[in-house]
Amino acid sequence: MQNTLQLKAYAKINLGLDVVRKRDDGYHEVRMIMQTIKLYDKLTFRLLEEDAIRIKTNLGFLPVNEDNLVYRAVRLLKDTYGVKQGMEIDLFKCIPVAAGMAGGSTDCAAALVGASRLFQLHLSKEKLMELGVKLGADVPYCILRGTALSEGIGEKLTSLPPIPDCHIVVAKPPISVSTKFVYEHLDANGIEKHPDIDGMIRAIEEGSLSGIAERMENVLETVTIPEYPVIDKIKDCMRQQGAMNALMSGSGPTVFGIFEKEEDALRTKELIRKQNLAGQVYVVSPFNQDPAIGRR
């Protein structure tokens, strides 16, 4: 019987993010183009015979109790299926925290996949996505992965064709942005210019990287950029260095730029570091969906 398993939990960026309206129940209805990128946390799972959930992580400030989404994922499976065994999880984080890259949600998704396998629950991807939405709106997408349209509160997903290969510079300035703060300060029903999400879908279907780049827009920037001007500075720097376009991901503060040439991306990364605009800077590429859930 398999006792251990290692999985990668990939981050996402939003190529486009629109807020359609604020619902009466306070939730925001969104339309987002999601893209998984090759920046990932590593999770190592070990089956325990005792009824316990233990988390170890390289980031001392992260919770290791039920406040960690990994813990909650394992707990949910144990409670739902009456599993008596336990799990020890070693969480090695590389994805910036509280950054708009779904770091916690993707760890949660990987924990659902990993624990269901070691507990031998034989759950389909669809079933895991159904369970995942109970833990966070972005969790089902993090199980699906690839290029996708996300609607509703983030739980209605439509897979799209993979975007053309490119180099993506990801830069997280040293500030923390609360997703709650951003949504609370967004005048959702007063947005004058909505991103062209349908146009971006057409550009993705046509495989046009320039068509995608020219439609990159995120309505949450209207709240975050006035508060944190460094976001705009990073975007300007990326564009000056040859990015086809640059945008804030999710509720920020992470900024990403799309580059055709790897040399431009690498030079931009060094420049952002040298100018102290961001401490965590990476050059990555898109991760495209693998239809078999077995391979992560």
User: What angle is formed at CA 219 by the lines to CA 215 and CA 220, rounded to 5 degrees?
Assistant: 130
Pairing of strands 28-48, 4-22: antiparallel
- What is the C-alpha separation between 90 and 133, in angstroms, rounded? 23
Least distance in angstroms from the C-beta of 41 to ligand ATP: 7
Is residue 101 near ligand ATP by the rule CB under 6 A?
Answer: yes
68 touching ligand ATP, by CB under 6 A: yes
Q: Which of 101, 48, 42, 36 is nearest to 70 (CA)?
A: 42
Q: How far is the CB of 250 from ligand ATP (least distance, A)?
A: 4
**Which residue is nearest to ligand ATP, using beta carbons?**
104
User: Alpha helices, DSSP H only, in the chain?
Assistant: 69-81, 103-118, 125-132, 139-144, 179-184, 197-206, 209-214, 221-227, 230-240, 262-274
Catalytic annotation present for 8? no
Cβ-based neighbour number of residue 11 at 10 Å: 28
Q: Rule CB under 6 A: say whether 146 interacts with ligand ATP.
A: no
> Which residue in 7, 102, 110, 225 binds ligand ATP (CB under 6 A)?
102
Nearer to ligand ATP, 183 or 259 (CB): 183
Q: Which is nearer to ligand ATP, 98 or 121 (CB)?
A: 98
Work out whether 47 is an interface residue with ligand ATP (CB under 6 A): no
Q: Which pair of structure tokens corresponds to residue 221?
A: 């920037």
179 binds ligand ATP (CB under 6 A): yes
The answer to whether residue 98 forms part of the interface with ligand ATP (CB under 6 A) is yes
Smallest separation, CB 39 to ligand ATP (Å): 12
We find the least distance from the C-beta atom of residue 179 to ligand ATP, in angstroms, to be 4
Alpha helices in 145-227 (DSSP H): 179-184, 197-206, 209-214, 221-227
Closer of 100 and 173 to ligand ATP (Cβ): 100
Which one, 245 or 280, has the nearer CB to ligand ATP? 280
Cα dihedral 168, 174, 175, 176 in deg (nearest 10): 70
Which CB atom, from 46 or from 239, has the smaller least distance to ligand ATP?
46
- Choosing from 251, 259, 284, 286, the residue that interacts with ligand ATP (CB under 6 A) is 251
- Residue 113 binds ligand ATP, judged by CB under 6 A: no
10, 42, 61, 90, 100 from 57: Cα distances, Å: 17, 10, 9, 6, 20
70 binds ligand ATP (CB under 6 A): yes
Q: How many CB atoms lie within 10 A of CB 54?
A: 15
Q: Are strands 147-152 and 156-159 parallel, antiparallel or unpaired?
A: antiparallel
What are the respective helix, strand and coil percentages of the chain, to the nearest 5? Answer: 35, 30, 40
Does residue number 221 form part of the binding site for ligand ATP (CB under 6 A)? no
Name the catalytic one among 18, 41, 107, 138.
138
- Whether 127 is catalytic is no
Determine the Cα–Cα distance for residues 40 and 46; give it in Å rounded to an integer.
19
Instruction: Kindly state the smallest distance separating residue 90's Cβ from ligand ATP, in Å.
Output: 12
Q: Does residue 100 touch ligand ATP according to CB under 6 A?
A: yes
Q: Which residues bind ligand ATP (CB under 6 A)?
A: 62-63, 67-70, 97-105, 107, 138, 179, 250-251
Q: Active-site positions?
A: 12, 138
